[in-house]
Amino acid sequence: MIKNYGLYNNHELDNTVLVLFSDKSVNKSTSLGEVDVLYHETEIVGYKLKNFIKYAKIKYSGIIYLPANPLIDVINGILARYNLELLDYKHGSGYITKLNKDKLMVFCEAGTFMRDYQISNGQYCSYYDLYIKDENDKRLFEIDEKIKENIDFFLSEVK
């Protein structure tokens, strides 16, 4: 089972779901019907699931920070048909609330996929990183004081 991956939906352009295991550039692919296996040289770096709308409708385009287990089950059902390695369930997004100079912010842990298909080295997140407000806003995102510290931002709970 693949534990570390980024999941991206693109329903507006071509109804695909992209599953990445690496942020290395894709320089070739092999089509297995509904799934393209993506490579960097000889290393598999991801899968592209085509016509995903046949299986599930995701109204959101972009990175899926914390996919629900039923969505992973649907993806794994498709991958299993082609004898491809399956995805493990995600138990956290990798986006944690942390204090930074007395301000509560979202921190993307090292090894976590970000919206730009890159793997984080560990950094505080901007509005852009989290798809909040104007998507070109690179200012760091400060959190409302009602959210607790040291929890998964995408599973946050009010105090």
In single-letter form, the type of residue at position 66 comes to L
Distances, alpha carbon 107 to alpha carbons 15, 63, 84, in Å: 30, 16, 32
Residue range(s) defining the domain that contains residue 135: 92-159
In single-letter form, the type of residue at position 140 comes to L
Task: Mark whether 75 and 106 lie in a shared domain.
Answer: no
CB 12 within 8 A of CB 61: yes
Tell me which H or E stretch contains 78.
helix 69-81
Query: Pick from 53, 81, 109: which residue ends a domain?
Result: 81
CB 107 within 8 A of CB 122: yes
Task: Mark whether 56 and 25 lie in a shared domain.
Answer: yes
The encoded tokens of residue 106 equal 């979202």
Task: Mark whether 11 and 37 lie in a shared domain.
Answer: yes
Task: Mark whether 77 and 138 lie in a shared domain.
Answer: no
Task: Mark whether 100 and 56 lie in a shared domain.
Answer: no
Q: How many CB atoms lie within 10 A of CB 148?
A: 13
User: Does residue 129 form part of some domain?
Assistant: yes
Q: Quote the pLDDT of residue 132.
A: 80
69: helix, coil or strand?
helix
Task: Mark whether 53 and 75 lie in a shared domain.
Answer: yes
User: Does residue 86 form part of some domain?
Assistant: no
In single-letter form, the type of residue at position 40 comes to H
pLDDT means per 10 residues in the chain (159 residues)?
93 83 95 96 96 86 91 97 96 93 94 93 93 76 82 72
Query: Pick from 81, 105, 129: which residue ends a domain?
Result: 81
Number of domains in the chain: 2
